[in-house]
Structure 1
């Protein structure tokens, strides 16, 4: 279906290469086809026509981030923020890109900005918690994960992240409760399952931990953390 739509829009652009609606449609189709590099080129064409088009700069940045051109993505987000300092989605995606770069302090500022502009943005609350945890501000991180859970009891990642943070603080029994809830909400979350194995290991439930790591490796034989944790328990070098 998308291939046919792409052919049709390309035909329209042959007649008028500067038609904004056709270019925008092409970008959206390329996104649906996961052809991000082509979509980026398409947004470049739109930006040439209208350099002040915030959504085009934003979408170009998002796609650049998806193909891990993170520095270029940040440049695009800055272009949007030059035009509109209160553009919530841009602050959010800038934060996400900075998380990918592990620039936790800068990412934290972005999510704080999102929350200031939109206090109901649950994803921003969650990622603020992630940044705080990475900065070893664990008690503060727990506050944000708890807030997310209160706002959305189906937010499985918040339960998982709260579990990991509690385990770091030595509250492994509580951590087990939260990781179990995360897995009830999303049984296929392999990362949460591996973290359950780590929590069980820290509780000295060795056989249960091994069983969990075996399950992780059944799901993904190349899951390195599960391999390492299993080898550590078995005493392999």
Structure 2
């Protein structure tokens, strides 16, 4: 029983750090956002969204290989987490792997045909660095 309460508390703390990471990212403070996302992962290693947030921050800091690894980790936790497929496509596009990026977009659309970021993804076509979310 005590372990469950402790686990619940850690998940709540992780959610706080994840939200804080998102706020920092919105403020274009990616280094600090990454640190907050890393804290969320330390508190809850099973939090798919925290791994995704780490990947997004890494990508915004031009650490593309690290970002790709973070998105892959998020997908290992939840293969159907569409934002991680989108993030993977984003980074693969930046790295010049257009075929891999398109496969990731196709997977995102297979999972959620209405997924706006995947449908309207200009990054694959122009190789741009801008993430469509603007935030995490």
Q: TM-score, normalised by structure 1?
A: 0.46
Post-superposition shift, 1:97? 0.9
| Higher RCO structure (Cα 8 Å, ≥6 apart) | 2
Q: Distance in 2 between matches of 1:147 and 1:198?
A: 22
Larger radius of gyration between Structure 1 and Structure 2: 1
* Preserved CA contact (<8 Å) 1:172 1:202: no
Match of residue 144 from structure 1? 70
Match of residue 109 from structure 1? 35
Q: Which has the higher helix share?
A: 1
User: In structure 1, which of residues 151, 160, 181 is the aligned counterpart of residue 107 of structure 2?
Assistant: 181
Residues 30-55 of structure 1 show CA distances to partners (whole Å, capped at 9, x for unaligned) of: xxxxxxxxxxxxxxxxxxxxxxxxxx
Post-superposition shift, 1:123? 0.8
* Preserved CA contact (<8 Å) 2:48 2:75: no
Match of residue 192 from structure 1? 118
Q: Distance in 1 between matches of 2:31 and 2:111?
A: 30
Post-superposition shift, 1:198? 4.6
Residues 99-137 of structure 1 show CA distances to partners (whole Å, capped at 9, x for unaligned) of: 211210001000111111111111111100000000000
Q: TM-score, normalised by structure 2?
A: 0.79
Count of aligned positions: 117
Question: Displaced runs of 4+ in structure 1, greater than 4 A?
Answer: none
* Preserved CA contact (<8 Å) 2:85 2:104: yes
